[in-house]
Amino acid sequence: MKKEHVKLSETDRTYLSDLISKGDPPTKLYKRAVALLELERGQTYTRVAEMVGVSIQTVINWTSNYKQIGLRCLEAKPRSGRPVEIDGVARAKITALACSDPPEGYGQWSLRLLADKAVELDYCEHISHTEVATILKKTS
């Protein structure tokens, strides 16, 4: 007798099967769905981990999350990261500034000059010349 690590409800099983067979779900979602279905079919953690290409601990975590919160475990949790400091409006203003005439006494805008002027005009609190270069590089 094979061990059942997960006991799916009929609706959950149907949802996961449909998710896999229809459309093209994101890879993370697909792996989690396959893992839950295979665990219910009696596969071991090791076998499922090999099948979907993750660690055994990841499969155990998916199982635990399913038991706690159900199918919401398929969703990726928000990840921490550095918040965006320079929004789209400020980026547009910096780009427009770069397209404008340079200040008196300069033949053209330098990246450092643009960065200093953006802070002076209060587009942002601080910005480096390399960030200005990145912003301008993303525009054509």
Give the global pTM: 0.57
φ, ψ at 77 (rounded to 5°): -75, 145
Q: Where are the domains of the chain?
A: 10-74, 88-137
130 pLDDT higher than 90: yes
- Pick from 97, 5, 7: nearest CA to 43: 5
Mean pLDDT computed over every residue of the chain:
89
**Band of the pLDDT at 1, cuts 50, 70, 90?**
very low
DSSP string of 44-77? -HHHHHHHHTS-HHHHHHHHHHHHHHGGGGGSPP
The model's pLDDT over 15-34, given as tens digits with 9 standing for 90+, comes to: 999 988 887 888 888 999 99
Cα distances (Å, whole numbers) of residue 4 to 1, 26, 53, 78, 98:
9, 26, 20, 30, 63
Instruction: Please state, in angstroms and rounded to a whole number, the distance separating the CA atoms of residues 45 and 14.
Output: 22
- Pick from 84, 83, 86: nearest CA to 128: 86
The model's pLDDT over 59-113, given as tens digits with 9 standing for 90+, comes to: 999 999 889 988 888 887 777 888 778 888 999 999 999 999 999 999 999 999 9
